[in-house]
């Protein structure tokens, strides 16, 4: 699938002005980055220019991403709502302080959108996107909201009320929208990070310097996200000796937790130690790593689910619970209901259950192949082109 550039934009010839906003995590920021790259490329084929502006929070991951990509960046004040089961606990000093930042953020965002006069505004979630989405509504600029999870996050639930288009990542998400919003919704999928589908498993071994990798055994990739997860790390540590008898294990433990994971190595049988490779972070080599992996153990954020399904990777998911809207558990349950993943959550998230699930997958290549095929039926590898086409359609003069 290719990006569709509306004829009205081609005939207009002037640069396409786009504001993107979203951040707080890579899951929100990467879809916006992918659209910027994809739109730039598609427009350049017609001799057209994209003039993007990223509006985000100062010090957020989106600021670095925009800088690395050469996208002009403007920061605005933003606040985060820290939710709790007990409503009284939400009246915290941090929530009250951040509540006071929201009006300032909306005011600045209205000024930014007014000055930029974008052809469209793309919101990909995170609290920083709320003021920008509201500003687009006030300034009457076309707004498109992209949601990465099955359950729509709180920020997007607020901004999508004023959206001309709502782009969703899964068919199941449509039914969870209020009825009056469904007519504006389209399922594009969640864009993959650029180049993710082009990985080379042989290159992964060389790039990682993994001298102990054993070709006769399957490979398990363990990740708790860019920061790591103590829960996931502890589950794997508890079953590591037995697991290494059946598989190579690459463990992305997180920068704050990597030394704890490495401390488990001396206790392993000497003949198994080299099969276990620990890294704090997996960077540009992620495409090769995923190509190498036969099974993935991970959280179930929107970006992770999109990658696993598009690539058809068998997975054992350990959702982060609770999250604001319980998004990770809903994502994982959706995959599990289609036979595309196994899920450990609540009292079921134990070392014994992880060993059982991994053991079954590692021992049965046919079962892995079936799970892979089921995952691919849920994946949308052309999500970047689909979402970018929706954004450019909104940019076109009506």
> 245 with 324, same domain?
yes
Q: What is the pLDDT of residues 285-308, one digit of tens each?
A: 999 999 999 999 999 988 899 999
**Predicted pLDDT of residue 99:** 52
**Predicted pLDDT of residue 314:** 98
Q: What is the CATH number of the domain that holds 151?
A: 3.40.50.2000
pLDDT bin (cut points 50, 70, 90) of residue 246 is very high
Is 381 or 87 the better-scoring residue by pLDDT?
Answer: 381
> 188 with 318, same domain?
no
Domain assignment present for 1 = no
For tokens 């994982």, the residue is 332
> 79 with 119, same domain?
yes
pLDDT of 98 strictly over 80: no
* CA 349 to the chain's CA centroid: 23
pLDDT of 172 strictly over 60: yes
Conformational region of residue 310, where left means phi above 0, alpha means psi within -120 to 50, and beta covers everything else: alpha
> 174 with 40, same domain?
yes
> 80 with 109, same domain?
yes
Domain assignment present for 2 = no
Domain assignment present for 82 = yes
Residue 324: how many other CB atoms lie within 10 Å:
15
**Predicted pLDDT of residue 82:** 40
- Asked if 36 and 68 count as a contact pair (C-beta separation under 8 A), the reply is no
Q: Mean pLDDT over residues 126-148, rounded?
A: 96
Q: What is the pLDDT of residues 57-89, one digit of tens each?
A: 988 889 999 999 999 999 999 865 444 444 444
pLDDT bin (cut points 50, 70, 90) of residue 101 is low
Domain assignment present for 357 = yes
Domain count along the chain = 2
Range of the domain at 258: 196-378
> 283 with 334, same domain?
yes
Tell me the CA distances in angstroms from 9 to 41, 188, 329, one per residue in order: 14, 21, 41
Interacting residues of 47 by C-beta distance below 8 A, sequence separation 6+: none
Say if pTM beats, i.e. exceeds, 0.85. no
**Predicted pLDDT of residue 86:** 47
Q: What is the pLDDT of residues 316-373, one digit of tens each?
A: 999 998 655 688 998 999 999 999 999 999 999 999 999 999 999 999 999 999 999 9
């Amino acid at each position: 699938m290719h990006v569709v550039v509306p004829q009205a934009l081609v005939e207009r010839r002037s640069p396409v002005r786009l504001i993107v906003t979203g951040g707080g995590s890579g899951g929100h920021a990467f879809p916006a980055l992918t659209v910027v790259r994809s739109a730039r490329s598609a427009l350049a084929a017609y001799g057209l220019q994209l003039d993007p502006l990223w509006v985000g929070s100062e010090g957020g991951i989106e600021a670095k991403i925009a800088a690395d990509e050469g996208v002009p960046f403007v920061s605005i004040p933003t606040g985060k709502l820290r939710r709790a089961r007990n409503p009284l606990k939400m009246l915290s000093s941090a929530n009250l302080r951040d509540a006071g930042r929201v009006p300032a953020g909306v005011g600045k965002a209205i000024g930014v959108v007014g000055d930029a006069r974008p052809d469209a505004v793309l919101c990909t979630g995170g609290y920083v996107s709320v003021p920008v989405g509201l500003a687009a509504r006030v300034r009457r600029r076309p707004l498109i909201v992209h949601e990465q999870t099955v359950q729509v996050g709180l920020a997007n639930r607020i901004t999508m009320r004023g959206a001309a288009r709502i782009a969703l990542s899964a068919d199941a998400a449509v039914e969870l929208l209020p009825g009056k919003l469904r007519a504006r919704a389209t399922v594009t999928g969640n864009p993959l990070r650029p180049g993710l589908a082009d990985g080379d498993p042989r290159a992964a071994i060389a790039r990682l310097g993994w001298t102990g990798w054993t070709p006769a055994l399957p490979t398990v990739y363990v990740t708790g996200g860019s920061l790591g997860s103590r829960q996931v790390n502890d589950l794997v540590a508890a079953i590591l000796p037995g697991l290494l008898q059946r598989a190579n294990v690459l463990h992305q433990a997180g920068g704050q937790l990597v030394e704890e994971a490495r401390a488990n190595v001396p206790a392993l049988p000497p003949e198994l130690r080299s099969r276990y490779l620990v890294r704090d972070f997996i960077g540009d080599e992620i495409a090769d790593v995923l190509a190498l992996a036969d099974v993935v153990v991970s959280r179930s954020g929107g970006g992770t689910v999109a990658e696993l399904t598009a690539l058809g990777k068998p997975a054992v998911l350990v959702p982060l619970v609770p999250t604001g809207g319980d998004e990770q558990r809903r994502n994982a349950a959706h995959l599990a209901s289609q036979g595309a993943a196994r899920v450990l959550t609540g009292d079921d998230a134990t070392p014994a259950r992880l060993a059982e699930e991994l053991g079954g997958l590692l021992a049965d290549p046919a079962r892995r192949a079936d799970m892979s095929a089921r995952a691919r039926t849920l994946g949308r590898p052309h999500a970047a082109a689909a979402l970018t086409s929706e954004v450019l359609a909104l940019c076109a003069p009506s």
